[in-house]
């Protein structure tokens, strides 16, 4: 639930200039968390840590070479567009 509160707080910061100004003056996580709580957002230190870790993983994955192996090839995902021709009735083996 508090991770949702962090997302809501960040959304509020994006949309309210006064809140952005207050956040910019925070010198550490404790001040940031106190500001969030002051505005009714139940954000905890673990939310900040989780967000930082998630951001680092996302950045790494975007630049990683293995990312390409997870992208699907449209020709492979749609069997009707396969590069292997289907036999026609005249080409079918006789049984």
DSSP per-residue letters across 19-30: HHHHHHT--SHH
pTM equals: 0.57
Task: Report residue 20 as tokens.
Answer: 């952005």
Task: Report residue 92 as tokens.
Answer: 């079918």
Task: Report residue 34 as tokens.
Answer: 């106190």
pLDDT single digits (tens) 26-84 = 999 999 999 999 999 999 999 888 888 888 888 888 887 775 556 555 555 555 554 55
**For position 39, what pLDDT does the model report?**
94
């Amino acid at each position: 639930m508090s991770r949702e509160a962090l997302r809501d707080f960040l959304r509020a910061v994006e949309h309210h200039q006064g809140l952005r100004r207050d956040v910019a003056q925070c010198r550490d996580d404790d001040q940031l968390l106190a500001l969030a709580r002051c505005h009714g957002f139940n954000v905890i230190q673990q939310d900040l840590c989780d967000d930082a870790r998630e951001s680092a993983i996302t950045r790494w994955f975007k630049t990683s070479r293995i990312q390409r192996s997870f992208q699907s090839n449209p020709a492979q995902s749609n069997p009707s567009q396969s590069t292997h021709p289907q036999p026609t009735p005249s080409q079918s083996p006789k049984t």
